[in-house]
Structure 1
Amino acid sequence: MFQKFTCLLFLVFSISGNAQDSELQLNLDEAIEIALDNNLDVKSSVFRERTSELQFKQTRNSRLPDLNATYSYGLNNGRSIDPFTNTYIDEELTFSNAGIDLGATLFNGFQIKNRIQRDRLNLQAAEMEVQEARQEMVLNVTLAYFQVLNNKDLLELAKTRRVATEDQVERLKNLNEEGEGSPANYTDIRGQLANDKAIIADAENNLKASKLELKRLLNIEVGIDVTPEYLTTEPIEYRLTADEVFKESLENLATFKAGELRIEAAKEDVQVSRSLYSPEISFFAQLNTNYSSLARLFNETGAAIVETGQFVRVGDNNFSVLEEQTNFVAEEIPYQDQLINNLNSNVGVAVSIPIFNGFRARNTVALQKIALEEREVEFERTRNEFEQAIREAHNDMQTAFNRYGIYKEQVAAYSESFRVNEIRFNSGVSNIVDYVISKNNLDNAKINLANARYEYIFRTKILDYYRGFSI
């Protein structure tokens, strides 16, 4: 598949670079493959799926604990509290704080569980919506493809019609120049030729418009054309009833699967909102430390006998009171040592019990219930719309098939009538009016037959799309 698509892209760019007026020849499978890779609507649905996938992963990861580290370093001037001694100071100091916080939710009314289930359902719905976009794109490309084929057929019919008229113009011109024909017949047939050329111009314009629509769906720059396929087999009557098609659509169509999943997700949203009534139990743990530039370590350097400034009187003499005093030397405590020495930790369990929150829980539950009911109504509306569309498409299909049979008989009848009138006109037995009427009847019948055939194909493809089948 990859090699096939690579070859297609290479062919697209080669044609685009070498010839502006060249057209890329595509069969239906190739056109669908390019559209599924290039179309912007399909890409948008894939982006929405990726968003839902990331939301699901994020919700699932909410079961994991939160672990955060903090660090700060600053300079303080003026009166403050020394973080080392917890005493008031009035000098400049540098400080630093570091910590690690751990938190985990142990219970919150199964909110996390219900959110995970909700987002899992939303992801599955998004996946179905990608499939829905792809199914719809396949249908649109198929219809656009067959519209090009239909317009090509109509153009060929118009050209064949012009060739037959040109032959008559040439024959009547020769007769008129020889003086044997009727000038009125010659001018009338020339008018008919002009009408045929106008029909060709319209057919060419319709063909260009249908090619542009197919090109838009494929989202490519190069011109495209379609290969004449699906044209050799005779249309076969569609055997399924409208009820059978609708039953299969409910079972297989991605639209309904996505709608059902969205309803289930809305139910989980109701359960998530109900968790607001439940208490929340969480676990926490912290590890903190700090640093202060004023922190000092006092090391003992020895002892000395010093006077205290007090006296003891013995008789008529005063004797100084002496005492032994230990000497210390202040030493700055290194940054790393302070962080290690000042470590402190705490651990515990917290319980939050909702008592009154302005009826937020009640209103949230009510809102989610309304959202659920809206989803259910939307699903029912979609179901009814699809059922109506299927019945209309089935009726149109049956009508197109009946018209096709009628136009086949009409073409056969008008073909024989034109054959006779052409012989009579060429023999000079009938006039130009009878000939033109007979020719127009046959040409219109062929156009109606071609339109009926493709309309029947369109309708069957639409029904296959509703069944959820690959077209």
Structure 2
Amino acid sequence: MKDFRIRKQPMRAASYIMICSLMFCLSVTGQENKAPITLEYCIETALQKNLDLKSAHLKTSTSRVNYRQSRLNLLPGANANYNLGVTNGRSIDPYTNSYLDQRLTFSNAGLQINAVVFNGFRLLNTIRQNRYQLKASEMEVREAQQNLVLDVTLGYLQILNNRELLKQARTRMQTTRKQLDRLGSLYREGSGNPADYTDMQGQLALDQATAIQADNAYKGAVLNLYQLMNTEHIPHTDFAGVEPADTMSRYTLSADDVLADALANLAAFKAKELRLDAARNGVKVARADYIPQISVFGELNTNYSSAARFFNETGTAIEETGDFVTVDGQHYPVLREETLRAEEAIRYEDQFNNNLSSAIGISVSVPVFNGFRARNNVALEKIKAEESRVDLENTRLQLTRSIEQAYIDMQSAFDRYHILTAQVTAYEESFRVNEVRFTNGVSNIVEYITSKNNMDNARIAQANAKYEYLLRVRVLEYYRGL
């Protein structure tokens, strides 16, 4: 047994090491093969977790409750009351309405029902107003969703733009470092120009600073996107790309087409229209204060008193009245027969049944004078309606201006991209020639650095134009309500 344990332990250790190694390899492979984050994933996550969007949903829930309550206000109102108490001293007996000077236990209960028959269509107009407000709130949720999708899309494109600029900055730095290494070798051998070597060192420092700035801009764009998604930053993540530059085509719709779609579909504009409809119904609600209100009512009441008594007959008795008659000079007392009664308390439930009373009727409330409250309320609601109309017109005007500006920017970015693409091609060829000439000692470092900077700056401008075009297209699609 001892030898068996000695031989078994190395086998267990080897198995444990093999399993751990396999798990580590799978973990590393999983990290290396991790799929990049797509724009669709970012949008879906933001729609689920963004706090501003959740706040918009809560406002819609409030509007839905208000609308439901305004409909329920059409139902009759019913109220019940019950009380029980004790009085000491002089008080009114609720059973007999007479004064008592004793300890008294009392109780009463009632049920009242009231229904509005007519109140100047206040209830119906309130329902319409709350329905428009609910629809406006739902449109505002769609507006918040559209805004969030646009913000996430623009943030995603900004990440891709900054990533491409970072890649170019690193490539630029690597190219400079290779030339610096070559010049360093020549310098150490004594055949190179020391000024070229130090100039290249300065160019490398500039490229390194540019790369640091590009890396910082990229990380800032990633952080902004994760804030929109309301999720923690995931390190070492990659982002899927969008349309490559060679498939970019000119936007086919006109600015007028985009504006027509926006006025018909954009949630922000339709929400303003619904708010105006709600404000107009608010004026109708306020005008109901001028009109009499007609209601019907019904009541059922009962009460109890501890002083209430029954008097039950227990027999009869002959008693003298105190009067007398005289017959032949003889006085005879006058007698009468008295009914004997025994006092008995009335039970609580019996009094509630016996004391029931009911009433039904109709009531009319006519507004005669209320300190001009009705007139001022109508005036205030008219002002609100006018404010909503002005807000709608202002939204239309701003929407028109924004679409026209976005369309102009989109066309400009598209034209600049194709011009800069040709420029990049020319500068790349120029740099290729100058790099060969500089490597062979035909040209100087000034020509090399100038050519290199021209190519790098053209690439940066091309990338910016590309993503600006994609961004403007997304903005126009947002205005169309897509």
Q: TM-score, normalised by structure 1?
A: 0.93
The answer to whether the 8 A contact 1:148-1:226 is kept is no
The answer to whether the 8 A contact 1:305-1:323 is kept is yes
Q: Which residue identity does 2:425 align to in structure 1?
A: A
**1:243 Cα deviation (Å)?**
1.6
For each residue in 1:113-143, what CA deviation from the matched residue of structure 2 results, as whole angstroms up to 9, or x when unmatched? 1110110111011000000000000000000
Say which SS state the counterpart of residue 336 (structure 1) adopts: helix
Determine the C-alpha separation between the residues in 2 that align with 1:355 and 1:228. Answer: 72
Pairs aligned (count): 449
Pairing 1:42–2:38 present: no
Structure 1 match to 2:320: 307
Say which SS state the counterpart of residue 248 (structure 2) adopts: coil
The answer to whether the 8 A contact 2:85-2:106 is kept is yes
Q: Which residue identity does 1:432 align to in structure 2?
A: I
Structure 2 match to 1:29: 40
Say which SS state the counterpart of residue 253 (structure 2) adopts: coil
Structure 2 match to 1:464: 477
Counting only pairs closer than 5 Å after superposition, residues 444-463 of structure 1 correspond to structure 2 as 444-463=457-476
Determine the C-alpha separation between the residues in 2 that align with 1:169 and 1:126. Answer: 63
Pairing 1:289–2:299 present: no
Say which SS state the counterpart of residue 180 (structure 2) adopts: helix
Structure 2 match to 1:106: 117
Determine the C-alpha separation between the residues in 2 that align with 1:368 and 1:269. Answer: 6
Paired residue for 2:72, among 61, 77, 83? 61
**1:315 Cα deviation (Å)?**
2.6
For each residue in 1:210-229, what CA deviation from the matched residue of structure 2 results, as whole angstroms up to 9, or x when unmatched? 11111111111233645232
Pairing 1:230–2:242 present: yes
Counting only pairs closer than 5 Å after superposition, residues 269-348 of structure 1 correspond to structure 2 as 269-348=282-361
Structure 2 match to 1:90: 101
Paired residue for 2:207, among 196, 214, 218? 196
The answer to whether the 8 A contact 1:149-1:226 is kept is no
Q: Which residue identity does 1:393 align to in structure 2?
A: A
Determine the C-alpha separation between the residues in 1 that align with 2:353 and 2:365. Answer: 34
**1:24 Cα deviation (Å)?**
9.6
Structure 2 match to 1:126: 137
For each residue in 1:446-465, what CA deviation from the matched residue of structure 2 results, as whole angstroms up to 9, or x when unmatched? 11111110111111101110
Percent identity for Structure 1 against Structure 2: 51
**1:267 Cα deviation (Å)?**
1.1
Pairing 1:145–2:160 present: no
**1:358 Cα deviation (Å)?**
2.4
User: Structure 2: 5+ residue runs without aligned partners?
Assistant: 1-26
Determine the C-alpha separation between the residues in 2 that align with 1:137 and 1:200. Answer: 31
Determine the C-alpha separation between the residues in 2 that align with 1:231 and 1:165. Answer: 30
Determine the C-alpha separation between the residues in 1 that align with 2:270 and 2:141. Answer: 12
Determine the C-alpha separation between the residues in 1 that align with 2:289 and 2:456. Answer: 74
Q: Which residue identity does 1:121 align to in structure 2?
A: Y
User: Structure 1: 5+ residue runs without aligned partners?
Assistant: 1-14
Say which SS state the counterpart of residue 297 (structure 2) adopts: strand
Superposition misfits of 4+ residues, deviation over 3 angstroms: none
The answer to whether the 8 A contact 1:105-1:280 is kept is yes
The answer to whether the 8 A contact 1:277-1:354 is kept is yes
Q: TM-score, normalised by structure 2?
A: 0.91
**1:25 Cα deviation (Å)?**
4.7
Determine the C-alpha separation between the residues in 1 that align with 2:104 and 2:474. Answer: 82
Determine the C-alpha separation between the residues in 2 that align with 1:72 and 1:24. Answer: 72
Determine the C-alpha separation between the residues in 2 that align with 1:41 and 1:383. Answer: 24
The answer to whether the 8 A contact 2:324-2:333 is kept is yes
**1:52 Cα deviation (Å)?**
0.3
**1:362 Cα deviation (Å)?**
1.9
**1:310 Cα deviation (Å)?**
1.7
Paired residue for 2:420, among 407, 411, 426? 407
Counting only pairs closer than 5 Å after superposition, residues 185-264 of structure 1 correspond to structure 2 as 185-223=196-234, 225-232=237-244, 234-264=247-277
The answer to whether the 8 A contact 1:245-1:467 is kept is yes
Say which SS state the counterpart of residue 228 (structure 1) adopts: coil
Determine the C-alpha separation between the residues in 2 that align with 1:328 and 1:221. Answer: 90
Pairing 1:419–2:412 present: no
Determine the C-alpha separation between the residues in 1 that align with 2:222 and 2:322. Answer: 114
The answer to whether the 8 A contact 2:36-2:240 is kept is no
**1:335 Cα deviation (Å)?**
0.4
